[in-house]
Amino acid sequence: MLANAATHNVTWEKLPDDFVLDNEPVDNINQPLLAAALTESLELAGRLPADALTITNYGICATLNNRFVIKAPDWGYVSSIRVSREEVKRSYTPRLQGDKLFHI
């Protein structure tokens, strides 16, 4: 039996300024407290550099096979962003705006 490996074309593009993001959270009621505790733990331990980014239900953007995809993990950590914080106010695009995302 031969299996064909699927090929995927992934590109990294920013969220368009006119793209409407849903403001309704889709998480459980405990998630914001857990996310805040994770972020605060990093801050108190001195492990949150000035150019790091922690996110909660935040649009993470990519383009897969010419289709725009946005995901919102419960919590994520980016060790270094290469753009201003204003540029990542609504969403974050790994590799284009900084390091890859570690998420929970």
Tell me phi and psi for residue 12, to 5 degrees: -115, 105
Task: State the first-to-last Cα distance of the chain, in angstroms, to the nearest integer.
Answer: 37
pLDDT given at position 74: 84
Mean pLDDT, residues 62-81: 90
- Work out the mean pLDDT of the chain and round it to a whole number: 86
Residue whose token pair is 């969220």:
15
pTM, 2 dp: 0.78
pLDDT given at position 9: 92
Residue 26 has pLDDT above 60, yes or no: no
